């Protein structure tokens, strides 16, 4: 009997002192984040699926060209890219895609 009580108290203490506060789960913070991610992925999928086949073919060509341009103008280091270089690389890529007539989903 004593062992069972200790085991139950030990499990409860592990649960209460976990990495994530229980209040976050109780307030649905993580549920809402997951829902937002799923909604964004569905919007992205519908944006790209609504394009015509010509636009999809043009997008494939532009992706190759813009990847080369972004890597040439703002190369990312092979390991541990810092935020500034990654953000600059993203700006160069998005600008190139928009300039060539196939904006990416966030810009569309």
pTM: 0.59
The predicted-structure confidence for 73-98, as pLDDT tens digits, reads as follows 877 666 666 677 778 888 888 999 99
Residue 86: the pLDDT is: 78
Residue 65: the pLDDT is: 93
Whether residue 97 contacts residue 66, with contact meaning beta carbons closer than 8 Å, is answered with yes
Q: How far apart are CA 71 and CA 58, in angstroms?
A: 20
Residue 61 vs residue 14, higher pLDDT: 61
Q: Which two tokens stand for residue 52?
A: 């015509």
Residue 2: the pLDDT is: 81
């Amino acid at each position: 009997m004593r062992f069972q009580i200790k085991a139950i108290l030990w499990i409860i203490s592990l649960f209460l002192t976990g990495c994530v506060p229980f209040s976050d789960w109780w307030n649905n913070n993580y549920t809402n984040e997951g829902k937002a991610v799923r909604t964004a992925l569905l919007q992205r999928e519908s944006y790209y699926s609504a394009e015509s086949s010509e636009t999809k073919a043009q997008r494939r060509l532009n992706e190759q060209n813009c990847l080369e341009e972004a890597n040439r103008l703002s190369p990312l280091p092979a390991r541990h890219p810092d935020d500034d270089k990654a953000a600059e690389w993203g700006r160069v890529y998005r600008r190139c895609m928009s300039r060539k007539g196939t904006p990416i989903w966030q810009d569309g």
